[in-house]
Structure 1
């Protein structure tokens, strides 16, 4: 079995990432409650129990409360920090009375964001920092200055991006002495642009695909880990009520259930296994805060190895709602 780019770099062998966006109460940044801490602790323990050792954050998640509640878990378990990989993101700034919603890759914002992340998590360093969404005003030389300062200070060990094209990655990389190690993108059985981009070459239907050309190929050639956010497709194929859903969703959910029964596993494992079978060694970032649903993902690695080519294409064709060209 091929290993993941992050494992090849000696950073992490966690085949799945636990995404912490769902932890920390509401998006208004309301004071954390006892239930918020209990929910987070149960979800994190469930993740650890199935071999997940990588945890994904962002400074904006629940207005910082996702990192704060996770920081309390680390405080309660001091031994845990050395057993896991911590990843966070920065670069999105929410609007307020004086400012619009904007992206910010300025040196000062990147550095101050990391200081905030470290403070909320209660740690001295994070393992990976991602730039969250492309900033049209980004200057690679300034990003490099921020990265170099953070690395020299021992605050961040590795850097990556999220939601970026191969051209944007190359643009930033040109000014960096160290390689970008991650690109996080929305990918799932319900979000197929990343597959369609390659399938619909020289097809009229391909002109409507909104996924930049060459991302998968560039990341594979440059040993950049592709992480998939939203990999469970909000439960569309694994138990969510879908009475009003299109036939493609209903039919695919039925096929997922059939395969899960045949392979004696869960629908979540089928959905993730389909994504993980791709040769790019995609690393799903599961965003559920439900401990039960986290546990339902534990068989995904086995399914990714056991799923046949015919089964993979059957799921693809069902979800896309039409046969391949």
Structure 2
């Protein structure tokens, strides 16, 4: 698998990362197979959050891999904080408590990347800055980023925090493309021209922030999987056509479509099926032409101005 640099950090990560939200549903043996398989494929960034499985996903992960220093140095662990009892909380107290909890569950003494999970409307950036400084100086967190934030929210944070923000995790798939649509339909009066997130894709490229695409197989706002879904015959026909042409699966083509973008977007794939991850990982070796990329975009129901 090809590697990319995560933001402007020194971290070299696989083009595709593994989201561990559903790892709490696995046995220790099955979880170990998932993790080992991922690492053999070149997937070295494992994405967690303190709320996944109520914290159990992190526990299962660490127990399954038999976490120790030699194993730890081979992987990049990323986790998220900021959701508390169904609400959002970027307070210094909660961020510090959340990280300590994740460290304990993951059986490690440092997190490679900490993301703020969902924007907190009551965020006080000075508090976030204090928390980041404590975590950085203590060695508990080495890099920081955000999730689901727009440029002005990020700029507000950057006014106070001393640490670089290297990643922004955002929903993106072939069937959920608002950040791309707005950039194509400039100065138009159609729905696709509505800029819902202040040019976050272009902002991320300018500021060397890696966009991590979550739910890369979902359509709408996590309404369901579109690959192999009979409700979307046109896009699935195009996916299958290209899959046969490239010698991979339709899911690999859906990921290759994301990887083809020059922003070097990193998909976060949540499958807990080793064979499926093997198939998906082949997307890293697929070369889509510009025409093929646009044909898929149009087959997904989009129109060009």
TM-score (norm 2): 0.93
Return the offset for 1:184: 0.2
Alignment of 1:239-278 (within 5 A): 239=228, 242-243=229-230, 245=231, 249-278=232-261
| Residues 1:66 and 1:209: Cα distance change in structure 2 (over 3 Å) | farther
State the match for 1:72 in structure 2. Answer: 63
- 1:7 deviates by 6.7
Aligned counterpart, 1:10? 10
Aligned 8 A contact 2:7 2:167 in 1: no
Matches within 5 A, 1:12-51: 12-25=12-25, 36-51=27-42
| CA deviation string 1:7-61 (max 9, x = no partner) | 7521123111110001102xxxxxxxxx522222221122112110110000000
Is the CA contact (8 Å cut-off) linking 1:197 and 1:213 kept in structure 2? no
> Which residues in structure 2 correspond to 1:1-325 (within 5 Å)?
4-6=4-6, 9-25=9-25, 36-75=27-66, 78-94=69-85, 101-206=86-191, 209=194, 211-233=196-218, 235-237=225-227, 239=228, 242-243=229-230, 245=231, 249-303=232-286, 306-319=287-300, 321-325=301-305
Unpaired stretches in structure 2, ≥5 consecutive residues: 219-223
After TM superposition, the runs of 4+ consecutive aligned structure 1 residues lying more than 2 A away are 2-5, 73-79, 206-211, 232-235
- Secondary structure of the residue aligned to 1:138 is coil
Gaps of 5+ in 1: 26-34, 95-100
Greater alpha carbon shift after TM alignment, 181-190 vs 41-50: 41-50
Deviation at 1:229, TM superposition (A): 0.3
**Secondary structure in 2 matching 1:24:** helix
- Are residues 322 and 71 of structure 1, via their aligned partners in 2, closer, same or farther at CA, if it must alter by over 3 Å? closer
For 2:79, what is the secondary structure of its paired residue?
strand
Deviations 1:134-165 (A, max 9, x none): 00010111100000001111100010000000
Count of aligned pairs between the two proteins = 299
- Distance in 2 (CA, whole Å) between partners of 1:137 and 1:192 is 28
CA distance in 2, matches of 1:322, 1:19: 28
Q: Please tell me whether the aligned partners of residues 20 and 55 of structure 1 are also in contact (alpha carbons under 8 angstroms).
A: yes
Offset of residue 191 of structure 1: 0.6
More strand by share: 2
Q: CA deviation at 1:78?
A: 4.9
Asked whether the equivalents of residues 17 and 53 of structure 1 are also in contact (C-alpha less than 8 Å), the reply is yes
Alignment CA distance shift 1:83-1:7 (3 Å)? farther
Measure, in 1, the Cα distance between the counterparts of 2:7 and 2:170: 19
Distance 2:302 2:170 in 1: 24
CA distance in 1, matches of 2:12, 2:213: 16
